[in-house]
């Protein structure tokens, strides 16, 4: 092997291996969860509202509000935005005594529009803080008041622990999806907090001061609107922090097709949002010497595991076939596999039994093969089907 070939191989190995190395570092640095709050945070009692965007959530909004209302000063603390609903979401929410906004717009669809509509309404009498919660979620530990207190006391957005549970008696694929959420939303977030102190917003159970809400509007043209919102907030001086003081759980979609739609939307949305937003955020943070935001941007540029595994696998095959040293060819996939294995040891053993690890590998290979078709192709948004009913709402992505 000549010197130029070695240099080319080393460069590609570094490019493919760097994201996996960052993931491995995060999962190794992640501290144990803690539910304790500081005395300063406990003294803060801000006025807050809970904003719940809901599109055709009649099947779950009742359970969400039933669990949430006992945690609130009054039912009217919650604001449900019934966005383009064709079911009884609004009437069910009204029966619980919460404030309900009905939004109808056949052209402008998506969670970002619902969030903006709710914030525009709250601007008439702004609270100190707004807590954001998905309509299919409930708190396992703590509550909105804890997140609001942390956000106001720290002056930064506060992201609580947000997990997704697989359906009962679920397949290995559904449990693998729940494991992936744990890795991203829990383990990597804890590790990222140790590296830089700032994390991404995760979609539910996060709190923003009213000043932050006013300064940076929620994105309305992104599939991963929450992650993009968090990156833009960090860029403007509000890097989100992570706390396991509160824990919130949602439900993964039921059925293979619904699960694939949900995963594809998350992965495609995060990938596109990162490409559009994070290079500029990274450059500006480096120029300003803001380490926390730089680390956050680098973390956001780590591609979805399916794409990363695809790239590392291709490089391993191509490298071996073209005469690159075996160590260079397999280093990226080995680093990534080490990160996944450590993640399973820390947060995945109750979801995936040891004897299922071979099946998990087969599931991962199948996802790698499907990745280009499910994530990189097409430019339309599909809502996740509920209760097995396949439903689609199309919305063009502004690339």
Pairing verdict, β 78-83 and 48-54: parallel
Average pLDDT, the chain: 85
pLDDT computed for residue 303 by the predictor: 85
Is residue 78 within 8 Å of residue 139, measured between CB atoms? no
State residue 248's pLDDT score: 93
Looking at residue 338, its pLDDT comes to 94
Mean pLDDT of 222-229: 88
Q: Which residues contact 160 (CB under 8 A, 6 or more apart)?
A: 142, 146, 147, 205, 206, 207, 243, 244, 245, 246, 247, 248
- Give the pLDDT of residue 394: 37
pLDDT band at 379 (very low <50, low <70, confident <90, very high): very low
Q: Is the pLDDT of residue 383 over 70?
A: no
Q: pLDDT tens digits, residue range 14-27?
A: 988 999 999 999 99
Pick from 53, 395, 304: which is nearest to 203 by CA? 53
Mean pLDDT, residues 190-218: 93
Backbone phi, psi, residue 389, to 5°: -85, 120
Range 365-390 average pLDDT:
54
**Residue 378 pLDDT grade (very low, low, confident, very high; cuts 50, 70, 90):** very low
Q: Measure Cα distances from 287 to 232, 291, 294 in Å.
A: 16, 10, 10
pLDDT reading at 4 higher than 80: no
- The confidence score (pLDDT) of residue 171 equals 80
What are the backbone dihedrals phi and psi of residue 390, each rounded to the nearest 5 degrees, phi first? -80, 120
- Position 110 scores a pLDDT of 86
Gap between the Cα atoms of 107 and 168, Å rounded: 36
Task: List, for residues 286-342, the tens digit of each pLDDT value.
Answer: 999 999 999 999 999 988 887 888 888 888 888 878 778 888 889 999 999 999 999
Question: Contact, 28 vs 344, CB < 8 A?
Answer: no
Please tell me the predicted confidence (pLDDT) of residue 162.
Answer: 95
pLDDT, position 256: 61
For residue 387, pLDDT beyond 60: no
Res. 168 pLDDT band, cuts 50 70 90? confident
CA dist., res. 365 & res. 359, Å (int): 10
Looking at the chain, list the stretches that DSSP marks H as alpha helix, in order from N- to C-terminal side: 3-29, 39-43, 61-68, 89-95, 111-122, 144-154, 172-182, 188-195, 210-215, 225-235, 256-288, 291-300, 305-321, 326-343, 357-371
Token pair 């973390």 is at which residue?
A: 299
pLDDT the model gives residue 390: 39
Across the beta sheet with 129-132, what order do the strands follow?
99-103, 78-83, 48-54, 129-132, 206-209, 158-165, 241-251, 138-141
144-153, 375-384, 385-394: which has the minimum mean pLDDT? 385-394
The burial of 120, by beta-carbon neighbours within 10 Å (0-12 exposed, 13-18 middle, 19 or more buried), is given as exposed
Whether residue 133 has pLDDT greater than 80:
yes
User: Is pLDDT of 109 > 90?
Assistant: no
Q: What is the mean pLDDT of residues 139-154?
A: 94
For residue 45, give the 3-state DSSP assignment.
Answer: coil
Structure tokens at 309: 């595994």
- The least confident of 26-35, 53-62, 71-80, 207-216 is 26-35
How many CA atoms, within 13 angstroms, populate the side-chain half-sphere of residue 200? 26
Burial class (CB in 10 A: 0-12, 13-18, 19+), 87: middle
Beta bridge partners of 161: 247
What dotted CATH number matches 28-47+127-300?
3.90.550
Helix 188-195 with 3-29: angle, nearest 10 deg: 100
* Mean pLDDT computed over 68-73: 96
- Looking at residue 2, what is its pLDDT? 62
Q: How confident is the model at residue 252 (pLDDT cuts 50, 70, 90)?
A: confident
**Looking at 128-137, 229-238, 249-258, 284-293, which range is the least confident one?**
249-258
Query: Mean pLDDT across the stretch 58-85?
Result: 94
Please compute the mean of the pLDDT values over residues 387-393 and round it to a whole number.
42
Q: Give the other-Cβ count within 10 Å of 22's Cβ.
A: 21
Q: Hey, is 169 helix, strand or coil? A: coil
Q: What is the pLDDT of residues 344-364, one digit of tens each?
A: 999 999 998 888 887 777 766
> Which pLDDT band holds residue 264 (cuts at 50, 70, 90)?
low
């Amino acid at each position: 092997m000549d010197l130029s070939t070695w240099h080319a191989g080393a460069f590609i190995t570094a490019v493919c291996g760097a994201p996996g190395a960052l993931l491995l570092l995060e999962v190794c640095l992640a501290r144990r969860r803690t539910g304790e709050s500081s005395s300063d945070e406990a003294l803060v009692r801000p006025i807050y509202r809970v904003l719940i965007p809901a599109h055709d959530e009649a099947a779950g909004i009742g359970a969400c509000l039933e669990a949430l209302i006992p945690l609130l000063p009054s039912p009217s603390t919650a604001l449900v935005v019934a966005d383009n609903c064709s079911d009884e979401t609004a009437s069910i929410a009204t029966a619980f005594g919460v404030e309900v906004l009905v939004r109808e717009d056949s052209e402008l669809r998506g969670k970002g529009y619902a969030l903006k509509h709710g914030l525009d309404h709250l601007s008439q009498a702004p609270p100190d803080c707004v807590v954001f919660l998905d309509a299919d979620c409930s708190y396992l530990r703590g509550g909105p008041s804890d997140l609001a207190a942390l956000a106001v006391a720290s002056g930064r957005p506060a992201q609580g622990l947000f997990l997704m549970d697989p359906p009962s008696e679920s397949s290995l694929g559904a449990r693998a999806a729940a494991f992936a959420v744990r890795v991203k939303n829990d383990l990597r977030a804890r590790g990222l907090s140790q590296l830089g102190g700032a994390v991404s917003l995760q979609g539910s159970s996060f709190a923003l001061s009213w000043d932050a809400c006013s300064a940076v509007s929620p994105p309305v043209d992104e599939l991963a609107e929450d992650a993009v919102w968090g990156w833009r907030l960090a860029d403007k001086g509000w890097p989100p922090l992570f706390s396991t003081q509160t824990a919130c759980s949602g439900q993964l979609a039921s059925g293979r097709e619904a699960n694939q739609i949900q995963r594809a939307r998350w992965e495609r949305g995060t990938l596109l949002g990162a490409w559009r937003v994070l290079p500029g955020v990274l450059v500006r943070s480096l120029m300003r010497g803001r380490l926390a935001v730089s680390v956050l941007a680098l973390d956001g540029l780590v591609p979805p595991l399916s794409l990363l595994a695809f790239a590392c696998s291709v490089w391993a095959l191509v490298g071996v076939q073209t005469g690159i040293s075996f160590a260079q060819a397999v280093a990226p996939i080995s680093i990534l596999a080490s990160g996944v294995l450590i993640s399973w040891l820390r947060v995945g053993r109750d979801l995936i039994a040891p004897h299922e690890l071979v099946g998990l590998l087969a599931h991962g290979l199948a996802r790698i093969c499907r990745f280009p078709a499910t994530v990189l192709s097409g430019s339309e948004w599909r809502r996740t089907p509920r209760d097995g009913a396949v439903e689609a709402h199309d919305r063009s992505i502004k690339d």
